[in-house]
């Protein structure tokens, strides 16, 4: 009989991450545990939906209030009992409440082993709320295996006191059969694409200021800047576009995930100028995998784990340097051969390093090591 694996992700259950787990179905009996309002709800394996504080409608200071009431709001009502009979509960982050619930289930004998994926790459982060430091310590001690997405995440875990022998560095995966380069150019425009959250730390305003520089300095090129996503800065971005006078060159799209691969194939360059804050550094940048698999030349920054993710298959500029960002984009816009070279390098890296089949095999090795 196949070992039973519970993939516990609550509100954050999503198709981006789960595309890698699709390749584990033949080896394990998978069930995903999400909240009632998880990011995505339909997968090729069963999903159990449990009520969570995260399902509450948005209201002012929602997360601040919920995290103080629950220590962490990623709580799934009834999860412990639902894990009865599972061989592995695979959760995320050392301080998430459902990770503690999974460890409780293990203590009660409901589930045999607990594996935790860790994105956090800043040591001692997320410890300001009472109780979280204890949560993190318990996870480091009682989890059977820790999957760090990056070397930076591994170093943070070790600095906090995790046993290095428990840590396995395994990145995220991308379905290279779903995301692939365009075979022919569909538009006369040179399209620069941004996909992600519309937030300051994602560099969205840096892209707009760089766009303004490029539109004015390369007026002979048919440029188009496309933003796909949503976030708190949407209105401010729209206002800046008007103030900069680049409305004709900037487009905002809302696209269902199933159509996202087509958006990448319609683009010529991908840009992701993330910048660090006191409590956040880019943890992985899943959109970078999508861009790599789509064969796009990438301009990004040295934020957090980005250099690990892109390797030498991207142009890296300093954070919040709008001039350098514009110059790097200009290089790709005006040099077809360089654009083609970096696009091929990106695709090769996706195939050799980030392909979901490769990542799934590594996860299976961790599962087998704890069973």
Q: How much is the pLDDT for 220? A: 79
Which residue has tokens 């959760």?
A: 91
As a whole number, the mean pLDDT across the chain is 96
What's the pLDDT score for residue 218? 77
Give residue 61's region: left, alpha or beta (phi > 0; psi -120 to 50). left
Q: In this predicted structure, what is the pLDDT of residue 279?
A: 93
Q: Are 204 and 194 in contact (CB under 8 A)?
A: yes
Question: Tell me: the pLDDT tens digits for 278-290?
Answer: 999 999 989 999 9
Contacts of 135 (CB under 8 A, 6+ apart): 71, 72, 94, 95, 97, 99, 100
Please name every residue paired with 169 in a beta bridge, in sequence order, or none if there are none.
148
Alpha-carbon torsion, ordered 95, 98, 101, 102, to 10 deg: -100
The 3-state secondary structure of 167-199 reads: EEECCCCECCCCCCCCCCCCCCCEEEEEECCCC
Closest-CA residue to 264 (of 352, 171, 172, 186): 186
pTM metric for this prediction: 0.95
Q: Are 301 and 275 in contact (CB under 8 A)?
A: yes
Distances (CA, A) of 101 to 11, 80, 84, 222, 342: 15, 6, 12, 54, 45
Euclidean distance between CA atoms 326 and 330, whole angstroms: 6
**Does residue 187 surpass a pLDDT of 80?**
no
* Residues 213-248 pLDDT 10s: 999 987 778 999 999 999 999 999 999 999 999 999
Question: Which whole-number Å values give the CA distances from 84 to 25, 104, 106, 143, in the listed order?
Answer: 20, 11, 9, 17
For residue 252 the two structure tokens come to 């905002």
CA angle 301, 285, 318 (to 5 degrees): 5
What is the C-alpha separation between 55 and 45, in angstroms, rounded? 22
Q: 42 by DSSP, 3-state: which?
A: coil
Q: What mean pLDDT is predicted for residues 89-93? A: 98
In the block, tokens 């392909």 appear at 355
pLDDT at 285: 87
251: helix, coil or strand?
strand
Bridge partners (DSSP) of residue 250 are 225
Dump pLDDT digits (tens) for 335-370.
999 999 999 999 999 999 999 999 999 999 999 999
Query: Mean pLDDT across the stretch 9-36?
Result: 96
Left, alpha or beta for 53 (phi > 0: left; psi -120 to 50: alpha)?
Answer: alpha
How many whole angstroms separate alpha carbon 266 and alpha carbon 249? Answer: 15
Instruction: Catalogue the E-assigned strands of 245-326.
Output: 250-253, 269-272, 298-301, 315-317
């Amino acid at each position: 009989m196949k070992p039973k694996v519970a993939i516990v992700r609550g509100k954050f259950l999503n198709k981006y991450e789960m595309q890698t787990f699709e390749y584990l179905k033949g080896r394990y009996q998978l069930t995903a545990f999400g909240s009632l309002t998880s990011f995505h709800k339909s997968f090729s394996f069963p999903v159990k939906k449990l009520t969570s504080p995260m399902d509450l409608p948005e209201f002012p200071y929602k997360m601040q209030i919920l995290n103080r009431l629950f220590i962490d709001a990623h709580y799934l009502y009834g999860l412990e009992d639902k894990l009865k009979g599972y061989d592995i509960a695979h959760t995320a982050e050392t301080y998430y409440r459902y990770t503690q619930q999974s460890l409780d289930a293990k203590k009660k004998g409901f589930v045999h082993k607990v594996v935790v994926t860790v994105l956090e790459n800043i040591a001692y982060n997320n410890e300001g709320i009472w109780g979280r430091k204890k949560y993190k310590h318990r996870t480091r001690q009682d989890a059977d295996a820790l999957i760090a997405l990056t070397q930076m995440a591994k170093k943070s875990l070790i600095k906090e006191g995790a046993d290095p022998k428990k840590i396995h560095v395994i990145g995220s995966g991308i379905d290279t059969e779903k995301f692939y380069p365009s075979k022919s150019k569909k538009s006369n425009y040179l399209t620069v694409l941004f996909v992600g959250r519309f937030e300051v730390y994602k560099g969205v305003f840096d892209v707009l200021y760089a766009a303004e520089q490029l539109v004015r300095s390369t007026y002979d090129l048919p440029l188009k800047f496309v933003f796909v996503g949503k976030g708190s800065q949407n209105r401010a971005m729209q206002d800046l576009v008007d103030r900069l006078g680049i409305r004709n060159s900037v487009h905002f799209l809302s696209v269902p995930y199933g159509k996202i691969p087509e958006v990448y194939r319609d683009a010529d360059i991908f840009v992701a100028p993330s910048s660090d804050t006191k409590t956040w550094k880019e943890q992985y940048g899943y959109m970078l995998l999508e861009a790599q698999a789509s064969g796009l030349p990438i301009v990004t920054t040295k934020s957090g784990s980005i250099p690990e993710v892109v390797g030498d298959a991207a142009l890296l500029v300093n954070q919040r340097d709008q001039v350098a960002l514009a110059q790097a984009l200009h290089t790709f816009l005006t040099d077809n051969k360089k654009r083609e070279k970096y696009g091929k390098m990106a695709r090769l890296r996706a195939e050799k390093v980030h392909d979901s089949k490769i990542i799934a095999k590594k996860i299976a090795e961790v599962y087998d090591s704890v069973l």
